[in-house]
Amino acid sequence: MNDKARLDYDAFSDLLEQHNMVVTPAEVHGVLCGLICGGMAKDDVRWQEHFNALLNDDFGLPAELKKAVNLLFYRIYDELLSQTQFELLLPQDDTPLDERIDALIEWAGAFLAGFGVVQQELNKASPELREMIQDISGITQLSSEFDQEDEENEAAFVVLYEHLKLGVTLAFEEFGKGQPVPKRPTLH
């Protein structure tokens, strides 16, 4: 997996399957985003314990998969910190809409799980973020049973996708460790 290339959902899915993981790339990405946005610092390796607890029955990952997940964690963190190029890891646009909706729902649920493990003081969140978390929770309740693949449903998917991205950005700004703490001037 080339860290610089656009993440390929299918290739990541194949890697997970090779290592007998019964999770999707959307769930992996969602949990990692949730952990980061919940406040897990980039240099805090405890995120791996949380990840393993949520997605791998507390077992460690095989070396190749661990490397890929580590790269993904740092990539997400850097994208959120720089506020550039952050995208959800979902199937490609030419994948049937119902499969993309399923992945979006999985991503949202995984994000909430990762976020909830780290951030347990949601009462300190802004009203906007609390509302966004409710919206993300609502997305997990969507029905993926779309009668037809048409422009209206495609547009609705794009709106949900962008809303999730906004929620991630808001959560990262409020709870993520991306903002360095200003140092106090030393008094002599």
User: In this predicted model, which residue has the larger pLDDT, 2 or 51?
Assistant: 51
Instruction: Give the per-residue pLDDT at 147.
Output: 61
Average pLDDT estimate for 1-27:
81
**Looking at the domain assignment, is residue 3 inside a domain?**
no
**Looking at the domain assignment, is residue 4 inside a domain?**
no
Assess whether pLDDT exceeds 60 at residue 188: no
How far is the C-alpha of 101 from the C-alpha of 144, rounded, in Å?
Answer: 6
CATH classification of the domain holding 136: 1.20.120.740
Neighbours of 31 (CB within 10 A): 28
How many domains is the chain built from? Answer: 1
Q: Which domain holds residue 88?
A: 9-175
Give tens-digit pLDDT for 21-67. Answer: 999 999 999 999 999 999 998 888 899 999 999 999 999 999 999 99
Give tens-digit pLDDT for 129-163. Answer: 999 999 999 999 987 556 677 888 889 899 999 99
Give tens-digit pLDDT for 84-132. Answer: 789 999 999 899 998 999 999 999 999 999 999 998 888 889 999 999 9
**Looking at the domain assignment, is residue 188 inside a domain?**
no
**Looking at the domain assignment, is residue 43 inside a domain?**
yes
**Looking at the domain assignment, is residue 72 inside a domain?**
yes
pTM of the predicted protein model: 0.88
**Looking at the domain assignment, is residue 91 inside a domain?**
yes
Burial of 28 (0-12, 13-18, 19+ CB in 10 A): buried
**Looking at the domain assignment, is residue 184 inside a domain?**
no
